[in-house]
């Protein structure tokens, strides 16, 4: 019997607490300062009594609050539908604010960043790191720092800024001279160090070659993997070009299977949405979007 009494009392207490916040908010203008303080103390007493698991203490706290409500709040009614809508609007506003300022999800649609990022990987993007951007524009309210060589960025595709965003690795910044000679990347006439790791056998989009080599590239101390076709690269040349002020040069880690700055030009800083942080949901489209468990929460480098 005591257990049943406690169950009923706790159920009533939770209902009263759920109603208390919108009720007291609606009574804001009606109550004097000392009455508002009294109401807050009575609500707090109900919360403390509920945690105490003591039936007598909870019954007394509920009685005191109910008496106050009857005396001071009897003419006030709460529209539960409106309160639910109001809460939902606030939640949506907070989510949109967080997405605008701080962090946003992004899904990898192609294999241009293999092996670093695989098709189906869903990652979180740090939008604040380079500054606060005005929504639906390429202008920024606040500039914090510029992208550095080695950063993986998500950006508005320069030829079609209103389309789906792109992801590439920054290989050169303003003032740098970029060139590719027989498949080797050069920055300011110096070859970017790289080391052969062996044949690549992991997941990949259809490649323009049968055999693919895995290499580790060291770009300003950012060590990352790249792929190259295991073929003669005599015709794989580009540049040299100089990166203009207010832009960066981006390339895919899948060097022979990436449409990047070599084909459509520089990436304006105003087009950059943010920097890739980590993979939060790695899905494999070749296996009915079954998760790649080993890639969950993998930090992106």
Cα angle vertex 257, ends 254, 258, to 5°? 80
Closest CA to 283 of 136, 118, 162, 129: 118
Cβ–Cβ under 8 Å, residues 180 and 237: yes
Closest CA to 62 of 125, 9, 116, 121: 9
Q: State how far the Cα of 112 lies from the Cα of 251, in Å rounded to an integer.
A: 9
Closest CA to 170 of 185, 193, 148, 146: 148
Closest CA to 169 of 152, 156, 182: 152
Annotated catalytic residue, options 127, 168, 273, 275: 168
Cβ–Cβ under 8 Å, residues 229 and 211: yes
User: Where does 174-260 show beta strands of DSSP type E?
Assistant: 177-181, 184-187, 190-191, 194-199, 212-219, 222-229, 238-242, 247-251
> Residue 179, CB half-sphere, CA atoms under 13 Å: how many?
12
63 is catalytic: no
168 is catalytic: yes
Annotated catalytic residue, options 72, 112, 225, 273: 112
Q: State how far the Cα of 9 lies from the Cα of 235, in Å rounded to an integer.
A: 80
As annotated, the active-site residues are 112, 168
């Amino acid at each position: 019997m005591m257990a049943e009494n406690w169950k009923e009392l706790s159920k009533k207490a939770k209902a009263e607490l759920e109603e208390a916040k919108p009720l007291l908010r609606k009574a804001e203008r009606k109550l004097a300062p000392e009455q508002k303080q009294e109401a807050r103390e009575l609500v707090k007493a109900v919360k403390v009594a509920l945690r105490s698991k003591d039936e007598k203490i909870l019954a007394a706290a509920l009685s005191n609050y109910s008496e106050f409500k009857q005396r001071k709040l009897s003419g006030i009614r709460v529209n539960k539908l409106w309160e639910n809508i109001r809460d939902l609007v606030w939640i949506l506003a907070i989510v949109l604010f967080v997405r605008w300022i701080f962090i946003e999800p992004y899904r990898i649609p192609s294999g241009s960043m293999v092996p670093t990022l695989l098709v189906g990987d869903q990652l979180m993007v740090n939008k604040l790191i380079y500054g606060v951007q005005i929504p639906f524009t390429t202008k920024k309210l606040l500039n914090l720092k510029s992208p550095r060589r080695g950063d993986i960025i998500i950006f508005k595709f320069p030829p079609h800024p209103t389309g789906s965003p792109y992801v590439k690795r920054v290989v050169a910044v303003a003032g740098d001279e970029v060139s590719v000679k027989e498949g080797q990347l050069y920055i300011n006439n110096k070859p970017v160090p790289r080391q052969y790791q062996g044949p690549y056998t992991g997941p990949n989009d259809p490649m323009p070659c049968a055999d693919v080599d895995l290499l580790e590239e060291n770009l300003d101390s950012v060590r990352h993997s790249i792929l190259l076709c295991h073929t003669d690269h005599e015709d794989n040349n580009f540049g040299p070009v100089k990166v203009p002020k207010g832009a960066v040069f981006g390339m895919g880690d899948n060097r022979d299977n990436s449409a990047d700055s070599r084909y459509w030009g520089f990436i304006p800083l105003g087009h950059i949405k943010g920097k890739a942080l980590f993979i939060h949901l790695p899905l494999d489209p070749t296996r009915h979007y079954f998760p790649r468990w080993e890639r969950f929460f993998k930090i992106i480098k």
